[in-house]
Amino acid sequence: MANQYDWGNGSENPFGEFLELNPAAAYHSYSSEWGSPMGQRHYQNQFQDVYNQYLGSLGGLLRQGIMPSGSENTFANYLGDYDWSERYTSLPPQMRGEFSAQFNPRTRQIYF
C-alpha cells in the first residue's frame, strides 16, 4: 500500500487521504459502532451497498449542480453521519436474523 500514497508529500491530513484511497479501511474502521453481534455480522458484508449509497449521494449533488469538493464530501465523513442502529433496526426481522418461528412452535387445529 505504500506505493499508492507518498507519505512525504506534505499533505495536511495524510490519514484522511489514506482512508479516501482505501474506502474499505474507512468502512471497517466504524465496526465498533455496528452494535449487537447480529448487527456486526450484517454490516460485515454491506460495504459495497453503503459505498454505493455514498456514490449515489454524490451523484445527487452533481445533478443539483453542486460540485462535491473538499473534505466535507468524503466517504469517511459520510460514514460518520451514517445512522448504523437506525438502518439496522429498520430492516425486516428476517434480514436481521430474527426468526419468530423458532420461538413459536406450530400449533395444530383439531376439528371435532
Tell me the whole-structure pTM to 2 decimals. Answer: 0.66
3-state secondary structure of 29: coil
- The cell numbers describing 49, all together, are 451497498
pLDDT number for residue 51: 92
Residue 84 contacts residue 39 (beta carbons within 8 Å): yes
pLDDT in tens, the chain (112 residues): 444 545 555 567 777 788 888 888 888 888 888 877 888 888 888 889 999 999 998 899 888 988 877 667 888 888 888 888 788 888 887 777 666 665 566 677 777 7
CB 75 within 8 A of CB 26: yes
SS3 per-residue string spanning 45-71: CCHHHHHHHHHHHHHHHHHCCCCCCCH
